[in-house]
Chain A
């Protein structure tokens, strides 16, 4: 069974630039959620994709957008980067919404984004 993978591992961008982060979900999982984790904080929910459609969104501005592909891999795009966007970005996959157990999420290793 293949776990959740993310790329790149680290990224340095300049304020105002755009970035795309990628995630491959665990084998058999059809739901992907993205989180932003600042130092010393818990992960903050950005949005969730279920079967290629956005299924819910947290309190993040529209410059945070995403996609899910037919193979359930996913992208997180952030436009007009700000200094406060510097954080660890985590992707988590799960089985879906059939029953409660399917809400269990498994995280990838994360992408560390630094905005200068």
Chain B
């Protein structure tokens, strides 16, 4: 079992729709969770962090965390073609010093 698992996609959604990206993790002691966006040929960019169970909203982005199910998700509302990228889920080990990334989900937003 991979430490952080994501559906590789591609996930294709029409412009204006909600894109839903999912991630599961294996270490129940993990406390810090992140979503990064990576455009082709560029480095990852932090878009959301979440530390407590529930939802956290920032503009068009909502991160959801369920520690009991070891599940993290990212919702992107009113998806735009500029949102087309690879979305990386990242989880810190309980000690905090090691960040484990999933392989990423490719998202395509069709105009």
Contact = CB atoms under 8 A, between A and B. Distances in A.
Contacts of B88: 42-43
Interface residues of A, number: 26
* Max chain A Cβ within 10 angstroms of own Cβ: one of B44, B46, B104: B44
B51 A107 contact: no
Contacts of A33: 99
A97 B43 contact: no
B97 A107 contact: no
Contacts of B45: 107
B43 A103 contact: no
A65 to B, nearest CB: 17
B17 interface: no
Given A41-B103, A42-B104, A50 B97 contact: yes
A105 interface: yes
A103 B100 CA distance: 12
A100 B51 contact: yes
* Max chain A Cβ within 10 angstroms of own Cβ: one of B43, B45, B98: B43
Given A109-B43, A110-B43, A104 B49 contact: yes
A43 B99 CA distance: 9
A107 B44 contact: yes
A43 B36 CA distance: 11
Contact of B102 (A42, A45, A58, A104): A42
A15 to B, nearest CB: 25
Contacts of B42: 109
Interface of B: 4, 31-32, 34, 36, 42-46, 49, 51, 88, 90, 92, 95-104
